[in-house]
Amino acid sequence: MRFLKMDMRAATVAAALTASFGLAAAPADAKVEGDTIILGAAMSLTGKYSTNGIDTQNGYELAVDMINKNGGVKVGGKSYKFKVAYYDDESTPARGAQLAERLINQDGVKYMLGPYSSGLTKAIAPVTEKYKIPMIEAEGASRSLFTQGYRYMFAVLSTSEQYLASSVALAAELAEASGKKASDVKVAMAFENDPFSLDVRAGVVEDAKKHGMNIVIDDKLPRDLADMTSTLTKVKALKPDLLVISGHAKGAVTAGRQISEMKLDVPMIAMTHCESAKITENFGAGPMEGILCPTQWSETLSYKDDLFGTAGEYDALFKKTYPSYKTVPYQAAQASAALQVWKDAFERANSFDTEALRDAIAATDMETFYGRIKFAPEGNNIAKPMVLRQIQGGEYLVVAPTKWASSKVQHPRQPKY
Amino acid sequence: MLDNISILFQAPIFAVDLLIQGLLIGGIFVLAAYGLALVWGVMNVKNLAQGELVILGGYLAYQATLWGIHPIVALPVAFVLMFCFGWVIYLVIIKRVVDRDMFTSLLATFGLSLLIQQSLNLVFGPEVRIAEAGFGTLILGDLAIPVIRIVSLGLAAVLAVGIILFMRNSRMGQAIRATAQDPRAARVLGINTDRVYAFTYALNAAICGSAGVLVAMIWNIQPYYGLVHSIRSFIIVTAAGLGNLPGVIIAGFGLGVWENYAGFVFGAEFAIAAVVALLVGVLMVRLFQLYRVRQVVR
């Protein structure tokens, strides 16, 4: 009986293998079919990342549509259209890596778009590297993605260590404007002890050191964070000029509530996840007034390009195309920008050769509605700054970097507790 | 670390601040720990799902705010609902493990805690939730004390006094105490111990649920946040000893204060580590005490 079972299993495996070889044999070379360039992407269409995964897919699709409608991609004097082949990775990294293999090996895809989230990107990048397939990703921000020496992966978004570093730069700018030295600024930090928040912390520490600032508090927050009283009491005692907090939505919820309860009197507070924690809805616009929140992109920025126009025009087009959205997530905007980079690279390389394309992508330097895109040798975008918005009267207004900002920063913050 | 200690000495107002905040949250710890002492003492069941019962109560408060009901109003409702929930859990699970050995009850209640966690995750999702009372802050000179903490300490006190009076004066309270002393003798004297057990577990669930409502108003809740509350309850009960209500109260307040000071001095990351270190300390002191007693006997 036992042997019989084993045989059955062997037979199943053999059948599956035959079937997959059969499948693999069918589309021999699918990278360019007729006048269509096929890009591949594993996308989290189901599972825990599905909301953001679908945002990303919509961003990709909107850009594909717009590029195809506006003359397509010109290679060798001929106009080509983009098409993206998707597979659902179910929000699991292992599945993502399998699907990347399948896209490249079986479907013959030679040009990849990134999946959603750092975790999935981390799982897929080794596959695209192995086959020397260029990938432009838009949703993996973790610093650790860019320390592996990957040659074929490029990211249009700002990396996670930049999330709050811009608040340090802003604090330095404001100190100097008021006749003080940047090195006089006292910084208090409270970061959760997890990879993302520690990335954010590393960026803050680096920039604070660069300006010679004094870090007076450096608290790590526990994973099951519910109370920050002791940290905030320390903040009250040491009176820093800048308080930076990052600990996902729970960090923002806890900080938002206790900042309000303890009537914290710090001139500048910056934290991540303000919107996912709904701090203005939960704790009122008055107490949250003046808190700075970073974002990759905002529709009020004065960035623009020839395809989508301004950031505001992109916002309007996206809402028109997908009426279910009330606000446009930055995940969609950066996904669209990834396709603009592909188009630009194809046209500059004027070739379908992956090596030529890789070099063309590496040499990218373009303005888009999403911001400027120029890659470091490690593959991350170094030209687009992280944007800081400030809560003013319950609205999130872009206040930094000053060059692109639509509103003036309120400093010191004037909360109404 | 030394800098942080020196702050406390240079600006004693912050030491006072931490002390008050610690005492205010201590009341909530006392509630959950008293419930555990009750179940442990009467039924000899070490309820690992203690923290999950707290979190469940918190979600009831959260759900109430979604319906536009103030979370304080939700407190008595949560008490009643959690009482019923506790009774059902007793009939379905606890009843079958009361007379078994310790590991059976540990495993069963651990399973129950996982079940509650995952169910909450399915219903409410993994995001942190809060129930905002919107009471503002009381300013006393340099001290800023959230009013909700004072209110919740008051509510915890009312609840505790109510339970003490109930245990002392009512028939059921007497039956519970009798069963705790000697279940067999209690049965001989005509006490329906099965009913007493059910009532005890249900009362524990109700106390925990009420504590959870306060937790949702002061901190935040998440399906997997129960564990810290379980740990705190076990530490308090271990430190105070079973059936020692004044001990539970003192240990609860002490733990609240200790947690705040430890968070201040060692950093927030180590607040819970400090709590567990305290448990180790308490157990060692207990061990030495036992050792001394044994020597005397010999």
**Is A243 found in the same domain as A204?**
yes
Identify the band that residue A116 occupies on the pLDDT scale cut at 50, 70 and 90: very high
**Is A264 found in the same domain as A396?**
yes
Contact predicate A380/A159, CB 8 Å: yes
B18 touches chain A (CB under 8 A): yes
**Is A396 found in the same domain as A253?**
yes
What is the C-alpha separation between B147 and B139, in angstroms, rounded? 9
| Residue of A226, A233, A277 lying closest to B14 (CB–CB) | A233
Cis peptide leading into residue A401 (ω within 30°): yes
What is the C-alpha separation between B177 and B196, in angstroms, rounded? 10
Residue A41's H or E segment, with its range, is strand A36-43
A51 touches chain B (CB under 8 A): no
**What's the pLDDT tens digit per position in A215-240?**
999 999 988 888 899 999 999 999 99
**What's the pLDDT tens digit per position in A317-329?**
999 999 998 889 9
**Is A325 found in the same domain as A275?**
no
Tell me, yes or no, whether A190 lies in a domain.
yes
**Is A103 found in the same domain as A24?**
yes
Amino acid (1-letter code) at residue A116: Y
Contact predicate B46/B40, CB 8 Å: yes
Q: Which residues of chain B lie closer than 8 angstroms to A261, CB-CB?
A: 137, 144, 146, 148
What is the C-alpha separation between B35 and B53, in angstroms, rounded? 11
CATH number of the structural domain spanning residue A257: 3.40.50.2300
What is the C-alpha separation between A104 and A83, in angstroms, rounded? 15
pLDDT exceeds 70 at position A14: no
Q: How many domains does chain A have?
A: 2
**Can you give the pLDDT at residue B293?**
67
A25 touches chain B (CB under 8 A): no
DSSP SS3 for A40: strand
**Can you give the pLDDT at residue A200?**
93
**Is A394 found in the same domain as A270?**
yes
Complex-level ipTM: 0.87
Place of tokens 């000071």: B261
Q: Hey, which residues does A85 pair with through a beta bridge?
A: A40
Tell me, yes or no, whether A405 lies in a domain.
no
**Can you give the pLDDT at residue A212?**
95
Gap from B286 CA to chain A (nearest CA, Å): 29
Closest CA to A222 of B67, B224, B77, B210: B224
| Residue of A231, A236, A250 lying closest to B220 (CB–CB) | A250
Q: Do B268 and A233 touch (CB under 8 A)?
A: no
**Can you give the pLDDT at residue A21?**
45
More confident residue, A302 or A82: A82
pLDDT exceeds 90 at position A257: yes
| Tokens (6 digits) for A373 | 């895109």
C-alpha angle with apex B135: B133 to B138, nearest 5 degrees?
A: 145
Q: Which residues of chain B lie closer than 8 angstroms to A260, CB-CB?
A: 137
**Is A258 found in the same domain as A274?**
yes
Gap from A164 CA to chain B (nearest CA, Å): 21
Domains, chain B, ranges and CATH? 2-297 (1.10.3470)
| Tokens (6 digits) for A356 | 């030529």
What is the C-alpha separation between B130 and B221, in angstroms, rounded? 6
**Is A265 found in the same domain as A124?**
no
**Is A319 found in the same domain as A197?**
no
DSSP SS3 for A374: strand
Q: Hey, which residues does A365 pair with through a beta bridge?
A: A374
Contact predicate B43/B194, CB 8 Å: no
Tell me, yes or no, whether A83 lies in a domain.
yes
Tell me, yes or no, whether A406 lies in a domain.
no
Tell me, yes or no, whether A381 lies in a domain.
no
**What's the pLDDT tens digit per position in A278-296?**
899 889 999 999 999 999 9
Identify the band that residue A5 occupies on the pLDDT scale cut at 50, 70 and 90: very low
Q: Do A221 and B18 touch (CB under 8 A)?
A: no
Gap from B65 CA to chain A (nearest CA, Å): 11
A230 touches chain B (CB under 8 A): yes
Tell me, yes or no, whether A175 lies in a domain.
yes
As to burial, measured by CB atoms within 10 angstroms (0-12 exposed, 13-18 middle, 19+ buried), residue A195 is middle
| Residue of B18, B132, B222 lying closest to A233 (CB–CB) | B18
**What's the pLDDT tens digit per position in A65-87?**
999 999 999 999 999 999 999 99
- How many residues comprise chain B? 298
> Looking at beta carbons, which pairs linking A49-54 to residues 24 or more positions away fall under 8 Å?
A49/A91, A49/A116, A49/A117, A49/A120, A50/A91, A52/A116, A52/A117, A52/A139, A52/A329, A52/A331, A53/A91, A53/A115, A53/A116
Backbone angles phi, psi at A191, to 5 degrees: -125, 140
Q: Do A219 and B268 touch (CB under 8 A)?
A: yes
| Tokens (6 digits) for B180 | 């705790």
**Is A396 found in the same domain as A357?**
no
**Can you give the pLDDT at residue B186?**
93
**Is A177 found in the same domain as A150?**
no
- Domain extent for A172: 162-295+387-400
**Can you give the pLDDT at residue B296?**
56
Mutate to test the interface with B, among A51, A220, A230, A283 (most CBs of B within 10 A): A230
Q: Which residues of chain B lie closer than 8 angstroms to A276, CB-CB?
A: 127
Tell me, yes or no, whether A2 lies in a domain.
no
Gap from B161 CA to chain A (nearest CA, Å): 27
From first to last of its 298 residues, chain B has per-residue pLDDT tens of 778 888 888 888 889 999 999 999 999 999 999 999 999 989 989 999 999 999 999 999 999 999 999 999 999 999 999 999 999 999 999 999 988 888 999 999 999 999 999 999 889 987 889 998 888 888 888 888 999 999 999 999 999 899 989 999 999 999 999 999 999 999 999 999 999 999 999 999 999 999 999 999 999 999 989 998 999 999 999 888 877 888 999 999 999 999 999 999 998 888 888 888 988 888 888 888 878 766 555 4
The number of C-beta contacts closer than 8 angstroms across A and B is 97
Strand bridging mode A387-392 / A395-400: antiparallel
**Is A195 found in the same domain as A174?**
yes
Tell me, yes or no, whether A227 lies in a domain.
yes
